[in-house]
Amino acid sequence: GDNRVVVLDRKRATQLKVGGTRGAAKLSSPAAFVYSDNDRFYIADKGRDRIAVFGRDGIFLFAFGRHGADSQLLNSPTQVGVDAEEKIYVLDRSDGGRVSVFDSKGVLLGQMSAKNIKGGTERTRSLTAMAVDRQGRLFVADSGNGTAGLVFTPQFDQQGGYVVVFAASDRKSVV
């Protein structure tokens, strides 16, 4: 109940507590976290509408995002993932589920939302979970259509929008 992420060893003994009790390091309803190859903890801090970044020692480094629905803001982030290039993928609750991609400093690279994915269904999409692999392939669960594993590699066009390549059909849709 103290809004921290606790790292345990194999014997379930506490090795590290990530997240402070006040100031910028304080977490409010951490929803998900990932540990990167560059020894950083990225925590989806749902209650503060941000991603909080901590070093391997649990020391707060920086945070990005705050409440809102426009492109630079986050709305209750629920999932976070990191690829091998240290790109940060965040799923939040905007627009039926929105995935935003940031660089390692928290600068927005691009985003897509459920309402922008075209093709494959006439039903409303609702992105509820996501994962990213080391190659930057994004896997999402679409509860609006009862599907999981919609796989695509996000690519940006010159206007900053996504060109989504669906792995199953090799179709392209611009979102």
Q: Which residues pair with 31 in a beta bridge?
A: none
The three-state secondary structure class of 47 is: helix
pLDDT of residue 110: 81
- Token pair of 67, please? 């409440």
- C-alpha to C-alpha distance for 55 and 72, rounded to whole angstroms: 23
DSSP state of 48: G
Percentage helix, strand, coil for the chain under 3-state DSSP, each rounded to 5: 5, 50, 45
Tell me the whole-structure pTM to 2 decimals.
Answer: 0.79
Q: Are 54 and 36 in contact (CB under 8 A)?
A: no
In angstroms, the CA 117 to CA 14 distance is: 42
pLDDT tens string, the chain, 175 residues long: the values are 678 888 889 999 989 889 888 889 999 999 999 999 999 999 999 999 999 999 999 999 999 987 655 656 898 999 999 999 999 999 988 777 888 889 999 988 888 776 666 555 555 567 788 888 888 888 877 766 665 555 555 555 555 455 544 444 333 433 3
